[in-house]
């Protein structure tokens, strides 16, 4: 028989033996349902599974270049393993010392597995090595790693650029919010100024009506005595004089009081209008400022315009203690000095 025929026959015989092993299942070997938990082969489940897995891996291996002698050796081992499994499947508990016989069969398979592994694993390893182009895998791995590193560098650059842009945007937003936020407070002073203006007009009308009414009443009373419309006895004249004094005193007080209210509302209108104009022009001054000292000065004065109490106009002797100009000059001194230097 020539080499080709021997090789083909050895491969067919090995494939037939491996096919028999592939048909064996773990349940048909353990046989718990037939033998019960006392005499079943559950203690050999591990070695059964390993042996079947070893020959299953051999069946899936590429054995094209394996020599005939090695093929025959592998066939003999597959046949021996199949024979041992057949003894397990045909084990009959109706015999003397069945537990010892069962344990001997399990130990036989354990010993065979160690020998099978020593002879079969190199063939499987060779098959894996032969069927795998490790150089190509290494090249692909290096290319993949290089691509990953480049992609990582690009992503890091993008993240760094994004973080930088985000910080710049955040700074711009904060600056715009700070500048615009101060200017937006002007609406509150506008509302306050409008309320005081409306009240001032009302008290001006009341003061005018009281003044005109008092003047008309005085003229009428005077004409009544001059022309002789009213003739009173001395006693009645004295009583009428007292009543007139009280009446004109009340009218005088009302005129003075309404005039003071007009003046107070007009004063508060002017103050709040001034604050409205100051805050409304805040953003323009900040943008025009070239140094932080000036910006801080403008911001300080804007803050004082919002929170500092002003003269109400209702109390006598009130004075404005803001002293705006000197404070601004003191604040601007460091910026002016740096600019000149």
3-state secondary structure the chain: CCHHHHHHHHHHHHHHHHHHHHCCCHHHHHCHHHHHHHHCCHHHHHHHHHHHHHHHHHHCCCCCCCCHHHHHHHHHHHHHHHHHHHHHHCCCCCCCCHHHHHHHHHHHHHHHHHHHHHHHHHHHHHHHHHCCCHHHHHHHHHHHHHHHHHHHHHHHHHHHHHHHHHHHHHHHHHHHHHHHHHHHCHHHHHHHHHHHHHHHHHHHHHHHHHHHHHHHHHHHHHHHHHHCCCCCCHHHHHHHHHHHHHHHHHHHHHHHHHHHHHHHHHHHHHHHHHHHHHHHCHHHHHHHCCCHHHHHHHHHHHHHHHHCCCCCCCCCCCCCCCCHHHHHHHHHHHHHHHHHC
Residue 267: other Cβ atoms inside 10 A: 18
Higher-pLDDT residue of 173 and 39 is: 39
Tell me what pLDDT residue 325 has.
44
* 234 burial via Cβ count (<10 Å: 0-12, 13-18, 19+): exposed
Residue 176: pLDDT band (50, 70, 90) is low
Q: 66 is in which domain, residue-wise? A: 3-132
Among 24-38, 120-134, 325-339, where is mean pLDDT lowest? 325-339
Q: pLDDT tens digit string along 57-68? A: 988 888 888 888
118 and 198 in one domain?
Answer: no
Q: Say if 23 falls within a structural domain.
A: yes
221 and 100 in one domain?
Answer: no
Tell me what pLDDT residue 328 has.
46
76 and 11 in one domain?
Answer: yes
Please tell me the total count of domains within the chain.
2
Provide the token pair at 187. Answer: 């609406």
59 and 197 in one domain?
Answer: no
Tell me what pLDDT residue 80 has.
92
Which of the listed residues 132, 152, 168 is the one where a domain comes to its end? 132
Q: Say if 309 falls within a structural domain.
A: yes
> In angstroms, rounded to a whole number, what is the distance separating the alpha carbons of residues 100 and 39?
10
Compute the average pLDDT of residues 5-12: 86
Cα angle value 258/263/266 (rounded, 5°)? 125
Tell me what pLDDT residue 314 has.
59
Q: Say if 17 falls within a structural domain.
A: yes
Q: Say if 189 falls within a structural domain.
A: yes
Angle at which helix 134-184 crosses helix 292-307, to 10 degrees, equals 50
226 and 87 in one domain?
Answer: no
Q: Answer yes or no: is pLDDT of 42 > 80.
A: yes
Compute the average pLDDT of residues 161-184: 69
295 and 193 in one domain?
Answer: yes
Q: pLDDT tens digit string along 290-306? A: 667 766 776 676 666 66
Q: pLDDT tens digit string along 16-37? A: 998 998 999 999 999 988 888 8
For residue 51, CA distances in Å to 43, 85, 106 come to 14, 10, 12
Question: Could you tell me if 71 and 63 are in contact, meaning their C-beta atoms sit under 8 angstroms apart?
Answer: yes
Q: Say if 169 falls within a structural domain.
A: no
Tell me what pLDDT residue 51 has.
92
Report, in angstroms and rounded to the nearest whole number, the Rg of the chain calculated over CA atoms: 56
Tell me what pLDDT residue 193 has.
83
330 and 218 in one domain?
Answer: yes
Mean pLDDT score of the chain: 79
Q: Say if 176 falls within a structural domain.
A: no
Q: Answer yes or no: is pLDDT of 309 > 80.
A: no
Compute the average pLDDT of residues 259-284: 80
336 and 193 in one domain?
Answer: yes
334, 337, 338, 341 alpha-carbon torsion, rounded to 10°: -160
Tell me what pLDDT residue 106 has.
92
Tell me what pLDDT residue 229 has.
57
Compute the average pLDDT of residues 241-259: 84
Tell me what pLDDT residue 308 has.
65
Q: Say if 174 falls within a structural domain.
A: no
Compute the average pLDDT of residues 189-194: 83
Q: Say if 175 falls within a structural domain.
A: no
Tell me what pLDDT residue 117 has.
92
């Amino acid at each position: 028989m020539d080499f080709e025929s021997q090789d083909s026959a050895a491969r067919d015989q090995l494939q037939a033996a491996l096919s028999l092993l592939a048909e064996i299942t773990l349940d048909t070997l353990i046989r718990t349902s037939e033998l019960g938990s006392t005499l079943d082969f559950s203690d050999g489940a591990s070695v059964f599974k390993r042996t079947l897995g070893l020959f299953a891996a051999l069946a899936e291996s590429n054995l094209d270049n394996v020599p005939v002698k090695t093929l025959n050796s592998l066939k003999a081992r597959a046949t021996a393993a199949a024979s041992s499994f057949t003894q397990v499947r045909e084990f009959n508990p109706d015999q003397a010392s069945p537990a010892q016989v069962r344990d001997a069969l399990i130990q036989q398979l354990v010993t065979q597995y160690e020998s099978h592994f020593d002879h079969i694993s190199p063939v499987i390893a060779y098959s894996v090595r032969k069927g795998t182009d490790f150089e190509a895998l290494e090249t692909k791995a290096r290319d993949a790693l290089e691509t990953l590193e480049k992609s990582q560098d690009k992503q890091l650059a993008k993240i760094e650029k994004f973080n930088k842009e985000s910080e710049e945007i955040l700074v711009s937003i904060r600056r715009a919010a700070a500048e615009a936020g101060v200017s937006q407070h002007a609406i509150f002073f506008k509302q306050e100024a409008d309320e005081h203006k409306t009240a001032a007009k009302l008290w001006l009308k009341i003061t005018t009506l009281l003044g005109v009414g008092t003047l008309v009443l005085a003229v009428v009373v005077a004409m009544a005595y001059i022309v002789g419309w009213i003739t009173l006895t001395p006693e009645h004249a004295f009583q009428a004089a007292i009543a007139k004094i009280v009446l004109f005193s009340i009218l005088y007080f009302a005129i003075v009081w309404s005039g003071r209210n007009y003046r107070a509302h007009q004063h508060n209108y002017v103050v709040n209008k001034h604050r409205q104009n100051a805050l409304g022009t805040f953003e323009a001054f900040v943008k025009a400022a070239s140094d932080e000292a000036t910006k801080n000065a403008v911001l300080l004065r804007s803050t004082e315009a919002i929170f500092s109490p002003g003269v109400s106009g209702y109390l006598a002797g009130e004075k404005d203690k803001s002293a705006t100009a000197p404070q601004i000059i003191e604040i601007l001194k460091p910026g002016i000095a740096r600019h000149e230097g």
